[in-house]
């Protein structure tokens, strides 16, 4: 497999001969406002430009949208992705949303799915902890998913999606034993100061729990509410001695496994 970190959670995954685009946020720098109710909401999103030409980003067989928050599925993605592109969604509700933007080749993921001989397994995630998951903010954060890719010729890939470290991720690691794990690691926070994706300590928990996996830190330095920089994460990893198994790519960087 080949994984390309594009920007934020947007990834290109070339797996068993099929190319996927994950969570496309494709706007130019500053294309939409910061998220209300989050840390640093005065900063417009995305905070950096795309590292690759759009034609290269869109040269895929299918798109997977783990949830429809704007930093994973934005208005530019709705405009530039061809309307007949196959779009996988986490559930019927997101499928409906995406169909409302005139996409007519959508597929809501079941627990187990098959596409071009690849098994795609939908996994649960938890977009925050404790009280923020209750009430209005819980509704806003909503449902999220991750995806496990398996194929007889490939290593197992687990894209955890927008989730914090919690027992669901621990169970996914035990059940699927992934060789490569993508973690959304930018420690995005809602007010007053609550994490809604992984931070450095969560990455370290995954590292300890999956002792032979390679971990890729994604969803970094691209949206207003991300509070963990690559520099800070790398320094933390160095201090913990984890650097050989945890990769912190720049936007545009690729790895093959």
CB neighbours of residue 214 within 10 Å: 17
Number of shown-chain residues binding Zn ion (CB under 5 A): 2
Minimum distance, C-beta of residue 10 to Zn ion, in the bound complex (Å): 10
Instruction: For Zn ion, give the closer residue by CB, 94 or 162.
Output: 162
Q: Which stretch binds Zn ion (CB under 5 A): 11-19, 120-128, 134-142, 157-165?
A: 157-165
Minimum distance, C-beta of residue 211 to Zn ion, in the bound complex (Å): 27
Minimum distance, C-beta of residue 27 to Zn ion, in the bound complex (Å): 14
Q: Does 162 bind Zn ion (CB under 5 A)?
A: yes
Which element (helix H / strand E) includes 230? helix 230-240
Strand ranges, E, within 92-131? 106-108, 112-115, 118-124
Minimum distance, C-beta of residue 54 to Zn ion, in the bound complex (Å): 21
CA contacts within 13 A on the Cβ side of 212: 7
Q: Which stretch binds Zn ion (CB under 5 A): 43-51, 67-75, 81-89, 200-208?
A: 67-75
Angle between helices 200-209 and 167-176 (to 10 degrees): 30
Cα–Cα distance, 37 to 96 (Å, whole number): 26
Instruction: For Zn ion, give the closer residue by CB, 71 or 94.
Output: 71
Q: What are phi and psi of 162, to 5 degrees?
A: -80, 90
Residues 210-239 that bind Zn ion (CB under 5 A): none
Instruction: For Zn ion, give the closer residue by CB, 156 or 218.
Output: 218
Sign of CA dihedral 199, 200, 204, 210: positive
Instruction: For Zn ion, give the closer residue by CB, 168 or 240.
Output: 168
Instruction: Please report, as ranges, the residues that interact with Zn ion according to CB under 5 A.
Output: 71, 162
């Amino acid at each position: 497999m080949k994984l390309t970190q594009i920007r934020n959670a947007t990834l290109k995954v070339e797996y068993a001969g099929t190319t996927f685009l994950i969570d496309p946020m494709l706007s130019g720098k500053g294309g939409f406002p910061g998220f209300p109710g989050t840390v640093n909401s005065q900063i417009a999103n995305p905070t950096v430009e795309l590292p690759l030409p759009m034609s290269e980003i869109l040269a895929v067989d299918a798109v997977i949208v783990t949830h429809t928050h704007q930093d994973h599925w934005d208005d530019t993605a709705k405009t530039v992705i061809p309307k007949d592109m196959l779009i996988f969604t986490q559930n019927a509700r997101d499928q409906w949303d995406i169909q409302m933007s005139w996409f007519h080749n959508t597929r809501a993921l079941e627990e187990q799915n098959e596409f071009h001989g690849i098994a795609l397994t939908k996994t649960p995630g938890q977009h925050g902890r404790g009280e923020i998951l209750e009430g209005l903010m819980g509704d806003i954060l909503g449902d999220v998913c991750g995806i496990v890719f398996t194929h007889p010729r490939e290593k197992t890939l687990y894209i955890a999606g927008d989730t914090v470290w919690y027992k669901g991720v621990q169970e996914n690691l035990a059940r699927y034993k992934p060789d490569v794990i993508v973690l959304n690691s930018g420690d995005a926070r809602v007010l007053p100061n609550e994490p809604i994706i992984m931070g450095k300590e969560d990455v370290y928990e995954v590292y300890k729990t999956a002792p032979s996996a390679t971990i890729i830190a994604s969803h970094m330095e691209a949206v207003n509410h991300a509070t963990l920089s690559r520099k800070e994460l790398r320094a933390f990893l160095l201090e913990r001695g984890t650097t050989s198994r945890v990769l912190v790519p720049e936007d545009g960087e690729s790895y093959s496994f």
